[in-house]
Amino acid sequence: PHGDQAVYDAMVRMAQDWNLRYPLVDGQGNFGSIDGDPPAAYRYTEARLSPIALELLKDIDKNTVDFKPNFDGTAEEPEVLPAGFPNLLANGASGIAVGMATSLPPHNLGELIDGLVKMIDRPEISLDEVLAVLPGPDFPTGGRLHKGGIKEAYAKGRGSLKLRAKVHVEEKKNRVALVVTEIPYQVNKASLITQIAALVRAKKVEEIAALRDESDRRGMRIVIELKRGANPEVVLNRLYKHTQLQTSFTVNLLAIVEGEPKVLSLLELMRHYLDHRREVVTRRTAFELKKAEERAHVLEGLLVALDHIDEVIALIRASKDPAEAKRGLVERFGLTEVQAQAILDMRLQRLTGLERERLLAEYRELQEKIAFLRAILEDEGRLWGVIKDELLEIKQKYADPRRTVITTFAEGFSPEDLIEDEPMVITMTAAGYVKRTPLEAYRAQGRGGVGVQAGRTKGEDEATRVFVAQMHDQLLFFTNQGRVFGLKVFELPEASRAARGTHVRQLLALGEGEEVATLLAVRDLKAPGDLVFATRRGVVKRTPLLEYQNLTSSGLIAIHLQPGDDLIAVATAAPGDDVVLATRQGKTIRFALAEVRATGRASQGVRGIRLKEGDAVVSLAVIPAGWEGYLLAVGSRGYGKRTPVGEYPRQGRGGQGVIGFKTGKKVGELVAMLPTDGDEDLLVLSKRGQAIRIPVAEIRVSSRATAGVKLMNLAEGDEVASAFVVEREG
């Protein structure tokens, strides 16, 4: 026994239509809400059994089930209910015990009965035939159910089902909103709204402008207003991933069968229910037959008495007591004691002629009923016909339309399907701000211009890494602690040319003191090839790209860095390619990728170039095998040139290299060394956020040991921060 609060809580749940598909209690008063509000205390509420609950108890007084003593032996309770419908499958069940748990989903009663009727008609029915009329669970809160996994769960008795909220898109006054009208089973609406709001506050979903609960008596309505330009499908799928707008329902069809817990398939559960109904209907029929035969027996005696009424009256008047009268009736008319007692109990009004006709009519009806009941017990087909008719009667009375829509979710949905794969300029600053800007925002200008504003910096913050990537590319963020994190380009918040962007710590789970050293765009992490790393001290490392495909939120080890060294660049390479390292002082070395042995992620690499004191590697380029283009050099004071790649001789790894750019006070130090075919544009960004886009063809071809021509006019104190090659505009 438990306290009455536990009993009340159990009763309250049976009245909640968001917990039970077919509530068994009709409650009056406050019985809680889908927001998790508690019910009123039981002194304020009233309850009665719902009509469908009475179907579970129907015929319990006809010896249909066995009874046992209750917990203290003061009363008897049924071991199981007659159950006119399979409540275990209709309303589902969940619970835990020592070492086991059960979790049965609810189903639509009409579909369930259709499946049972099919099984009665064809006992050897297959699961596929049942699924044709009973396609899957039907949850009280509706929603959408993924078709995948249903058949397996029904066949094995174990599985997992995916549930999603029912959401549609509304457009009003140039604003787009996601409207949630149904949520997954057992999800608290208030908690769901809090969960979405927390994502917005944490800036994990930045496209949401407002969040409102407009639910009322007419139904549920959660409104998620989106910012202008937001893609509702992308936002929705992100919410599916991070909130309870999508949940999983664990299926564990564990039930007690003859006192033993067993995991059953759907067909076995249905068969056990039908076997139970067969026993119930058989016992009820036998009970009713016995009662009918007993009544017919009494009526036979009464009719005999009425046929000899004068003699019966005389015999009774002559008897000194009822016992003598009973013996006399038994001996004179061949009656049983039961019949004789019934005659003695008969009232005088039963002696009328009309009453005799009523008794005869009742007797004839009983004979027909007895014949019908005996036929049921003697004919298995008739017995199943009765079970079938009773199930169909319940279906007619209580069946309702399906609430949960069974559909197919896009497994492994990728937002790339909805996002145009357009080029973006990725910008990162020294302070850790990162953004993406449409490439078209940087218009082409003539060589020697001052450019346009490319980004608003704060204090001494300056752009340290700028390059072009496609929206579907994978961005790899390499940190000063040798780890790597991944984001898709479209997952970066878009910002205008002049905006600062978003701090990288809002996007990545960086550790204390950890900063992004460089980043790289990769089209496909599963593609063949290698990643080539270059450090400020001239170390190079080569690791297969495949080793980085399983990126996690906590990052992966990318490279082991020596104390005092920094990672300055990472590039992709293929067998047969050459590697070019360029230093701040204009030294350049070119060597075969094959000279760098491929090693694992946690290795530290080998020497790529021998540096003079005060020099450092600033640029890494990969030259494809057989390629005959140019290497484009850009200096810190805005000078640049392009030189045929053939002028850079292939050398052995680890040498001092050759002059690749003539540095000096006027032209400054080397900032970037970029491979180009000559038909692209060059995008140059300054530390103060100025940008210029120049056709590469306008840049003079010069020899290795020169500084080239003026590419960009810089303000006093400003310097080139980064440069990269992009596709020709227009």
Q: Give the separation between CA 622 and CA 601, rounded to whole angstroms.
A: 20
Q: What angle do CA 640, 645, 648 make, to 5 degrees?
A: 95
Query: Which residue has tokens 């390479």?
Result: 573
Query: Which residue has tokens 């009709």?
Result: 26
Q: Give the separation between CA 254 and CA 159, rounded to whole angstroms.
A: 12
Q: Which two tokens stand for residue 220?
A: 């549920």
Query: Nearest-CA neighbor of 359 among 308, 299, 301?
Result: 299
Distances (CA, A) of 718 to 442, 457, 634, 666: 19, 13, 15, 13
Sort 148 into a burial class: Cβ within 10 Å, 0-12 / 13-18 / 19+.
Answer: middle
Please list the ranges in the chain whose pLDDT falls under 50.
Answer: 448-459
Angle, helix 266-307 to helix 337-345, in steps of 10 degrees:
70
Other C-beta atoms closer than 10 Å to the C-beta of 724 total 21
Which amino acid is present at 604? Q
Q: Which member of 22, 44, 273, 548 is catalytic?
A: 44
Give residue 413's pLDDT.
Answer: 55
DSSP assignment string, 403-461: -SEEE---TT--GGGTS---EEEEEEETTSEEEEEEGGGS-B--TT---EE-----TT-
DSSP assignment string, 354-409: HHHHHHHHHHHHHHHHHHHHHHHHH-HHHHHHHHHHHHHHHHHHH-----SEEE--
Topology adopted by domain 278-405: Topoisomerase; domain 3 (1.10.268)
Model confidence pLDDT, tens digit, residues 409-466: 865 556 666 677 888 888 888 788 998 888 877 655 555 444 444 444 444 566 677 7
Residue 153 main-chain phi, psi, to 5 deg: -65, -40
Give residue 268's pLDDT.
Answer: 96
* Cβ-Cβ contacts under 8 Å for 271 (sequence gap 6 or more): 119
Give residue 188's pLDDT.
Answer: 95
Model confidence pLDDT, tens digit, residues 358-416: 999 999 999 999 999 999 999 999 999 999 999 999 999 999 999 999 998 865 556 66
- pTM recorded for the entire structure: 0.65
Q: Give the separation between CA 611 and CA 568, rounded to whole angstroms.
A: 15
| Contact call for residues 181 and 167 (beta carbons, < 8 A) | yes
CATH class for domain 166-244?
Answer: alpha beta
Give residue 210's pLDDT.
Answer: 93
The rounded Cα 32 to chain-centroid distance in angstroms is 26
| Contact call for residues 150 and 415 (beta carbons, < 8 A) | no
Mark residue 619 as left, alpha or beta (left: phi above 0; alpha: psi -120 to 50; beta: remaining).
beta
* 3-state secondary structure at position 84: coil
Element (H, E) at 72: none
| Contact call for residues 185 and 165 (beta carbons, < 8 A) | no
| Contact call for residues 475 and 520 (beta carbons, < 8 A) | yes
The rounded Cα 321 to chain-centroid distance in angstroms is 83
Give the start-end residues of each E strand in 130-184.
144-146, 158-164, 166-172, 175-182
* 3-state secondary structure at position 632: strand
Q: Which two tokens stand for residue 44?
A: 């304020």
Query: Nearest-CA neighbor of 116 among 515, 458, 393?
Result: 393
Give residue 158's pLDDT.
Answer: 94
Q: Give the separation between CA 431 and CA 301, rounded to whole angstroms.
A: 107
| Contact call for residues 549 and 557 (beta carbons, < 8 A) | no
Domain regions of the chain by residue span = 1-14+23-49, 166-244, 278-405, 421-726
| Contact call for residues 266 and 131 (beta carbons, < 8 A) | no
- Sign for the CA dihedral angle at 304, 309, 312, 313 comes to positive
Q: Which two tokens stand for residue 641?
A: 């040139």
Q: Which two tokens stand for residue 182?
A: 């149904």
Q: Give the separation between CA 635 and CA 581, rounded to whole angstroms.
A: 15
- Relative to beta strand 567-573, strand 606-607 is unpaired
Q: Give the separation between CA 686 and CA 454, rounded to whole angstroms.
A: 8
- Relative to beta strand 556-557, strand 709-710 is unpaired
648 belongs to the catalytic site: no
Model confidence pLDDT, tens digit, residues 622-647: 999 999 999 999 999 999 999 999 99
Expressed in percent and rounded to 5, the helix, strand and coil fractions of the chain are: 30, 30, 40
DSSP assignment string, 290-346: HHHHHHHHHHHHHHHHHHTHHHHHHHHHH-SSHHHHHHHHHHHH---HHHHHHHHH-
* Cβ-Cβ contacts under 8 Å for 219 (sequence gap 6 or more): 181
> CATH assignment of 421-726?
2.120.10.90
